[in-house]
């Protein structure tokens, strides 16, 4: 009897209703694990709290302390530098590799399978293992990168031990997880009609002109999305790599905003100040998302406003 009631049209869910039911556990997880901690962190930014005594209301003191701290200004500068340097190179490398593989993949499909696996592999390596591997690669004494440079007669930098080379070393380590961007670029290139390239070749356009005037304009919205996606990921997920490789050194050359938040909260037990710095990181991320939304609407990425907001 109950089964018949559930199967009756009155109890039958629509397709959209079934989708919302499937998404319900994820929505609850987002609310409990993301939305609630964000709101608590915002409230905690107005209190002095050390996890040992009751919180005391401090007003905007934590924000004033953060904005007048020299390490805060330095951490924001280093954070933006580690976004500006690797992100364009990551997107460009993923696109060029996908373009190269797209051209060769028409002749050998097995090549696509092997290259996709090799390029995507760094993206699935745990962050701690990835950072320790690059700590060995960039070792100034016996690291394979310096041994390779010395073998061809080039000067071997001290990398993570030299303040002038520490930031380029971190940027070099952040360049390689391009697997997801590579797959997205490869899928987008498959959607480009081959007739456009064939028509360009018939009209006398070379490979460079075809890439510049046909492929890049068609791929520009996708590359824009990948650029802002990688920027947000590096802002939020570079902590493990930097902490294990340099811990912000040498001489604060790689000291970033996530490291400042960690030290304020778990080193100095100043959770109010850490929450204030965390909201600065949220604002940086939100600014990137806002710019992405505005530019994507102007460029008409290929989706409606409702789908983009989802």
Tens-place pLDDT, residues 229-240: 888 888 877 898
Give residue-wise pLDDT tens across range 29-40: 999 988 898 888
Q: Is residue 61 part of a domain?
A: yes
Same domain, 140 and 282: yes
Mean pLDDT for 281-293 is 80
Four-residue CA torsion sign, 169, 172, 176, 178: positive
- Per the structure, the count of domains in the chain is 2
DSSP 3-state assignment of 57?
A: strand
Q: Is residue 40 part of a domain?
A: no
What are the structure tokens assigned to 284, written together? 């940086």
Q: What is the pLDDT of residue 235?
A: 84
Q: What is the pLDDT of residue 136?
A: 93
The alpha carbons of the chain give a radius of gyration, in whole angstroms, of 24
Same domain, 10 and 51: no
User: Given a cut of 90, is residue 53 above it in pLDDT?
Assistant: no
What are the structure tokens assigned to 24, written together? 């319900």
Four-residue CA torsion sign, 230, 235, 236, 239: positive
Q: Is residue 39 part of a domain?
A: no
User: Given a cut of 70, is residue 139 above it in pLDDT?
Assistant: yes
* Alpha carbon 73 to chain centroid, angstroms: 22
Mean pLDDT for 257-271 is 91
Mean pLDDT for 253-279 is 91
Same domain, 275 and 302: yes
Give residue-wise pLDDT tens across range 168-182: 999 999 988 888 889
Same domain, 130 and 211: yes
Same domain, 111 and 7: no
Q: Which residue has the tokens 């061809």?
A: 152
Mean pLDDT for 246-252 is 89
Beta bridge partners of residue 57, listed in sequence order: 47
Q: d(Cα 45, Cα 219) in Å, to the nearest integer?
A: 42
Q: 250: cis peptide before it, omega within 30°?
A: yes
Give residue-wise pLDDT tens across range 2-15: 444 444 555 577 88
The CATH number linked to 223 is: 1.10.3720.10
Q: Is residue 89 part of a domain?
A: yes
Q: What is the pLDDT of residue 10?
A: 53
User: Given a cut of 80, is residue 118 above it in pLDDT?
Assistant: yes
Look at 14-18, 57-61, 137-141 and tell me which has the smallest mean pLDDT. 14-18
Same domain, 159 and 262: yes
User: Given a cut of 50, is residue 306 above it in pLDDT?
Assistant: no
Give residue-wise pLDDT tens across range 74-100: 998 898 888 888 888 999 999 988 888
Mean pLDDT for 155-165 is 90
Same domain, 18 and 58: no
Q: d(Cα 76, Cα 281) in Å, to the nearest integer?
A: 9
Q: d(Cα 71, Cα 127) in Å, to the nearest integer?
A: 25
Same domain, 177 and 303: yes
User: Given a cut of 50, is residue 217 above it in pLDDT?
Assistant: yes
Same domain, 23 and 136: no
Mean pLDDT for 146-168 is 90
Range of the domain at 15: 1-33
DSSP 3-state assignment of 47?
A: strand
In whole numbers, what is the pLDDT of the chain averaged over residues?
83
Same domain, 27 and 102: no
Same domain, 216 and 191: yes
């Amino acid at each position: 009897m109950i089964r018949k009631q559930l199967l009756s049209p009155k109890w039958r869910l629509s397709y959209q209703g079934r989708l919302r039911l499937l998404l319900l556990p994820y929505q609850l997880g987002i609310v409990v694990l993301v939305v609630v901690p964000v709101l608590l962190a915002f409230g905690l930014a107005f209190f002095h709290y050390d996890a040992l005594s009751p919180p005391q209301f401090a007003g905007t003191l934590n924000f004033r302390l953060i904005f007048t701290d020299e390490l805060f200004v330095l951490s924001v500068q280093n954070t933006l530098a580690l976004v500006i340097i690797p992100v364009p190179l990551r997107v460009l490398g993923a696109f060029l590799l996908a373009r190269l593989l797209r051209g060769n993949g028409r002749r050998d499909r097995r090549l696509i399978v092997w290259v996709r696996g090799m390029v995507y592999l760094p993206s699935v390596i745990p962050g701690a293992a990835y950072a320790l591997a690059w700590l060995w690669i960039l070792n100034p004494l016996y690291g394979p990168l310096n041994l390779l440079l010395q073998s061809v007669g080039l000067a071997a930098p001290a990398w993570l031990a030299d303040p002038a080379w520490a930031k380029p070393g971190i940027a070099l380590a952040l360049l390689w997880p391009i697997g997801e961007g590579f797959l997205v670029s490869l899928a987008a290139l498959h959607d480009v009609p081959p007739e456009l390239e064939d028509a360009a070749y018939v009209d006398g356009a070379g490979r460079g002109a075809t890439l510049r005037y046909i492929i890049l304009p068609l791929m520009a919205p996708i590359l824009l999305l990948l650029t802002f996606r990688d920027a947000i990921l590096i802002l939020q997920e570079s902590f493990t790599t930097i902490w294990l490789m340099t811990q912000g050194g040498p001489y604060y050359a790689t000291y970033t905003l996530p490291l400042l938040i960690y030290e304020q909260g778990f080193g100095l037990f100043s959770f109010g100040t850490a929450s204030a710095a965390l909201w600065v990181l949220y604002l940086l991320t939100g600014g990137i998302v806002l710019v992405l939304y505005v530019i994507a609407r102007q460029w008409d990425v290929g989706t409606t406003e409702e789908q983009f907001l989802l």
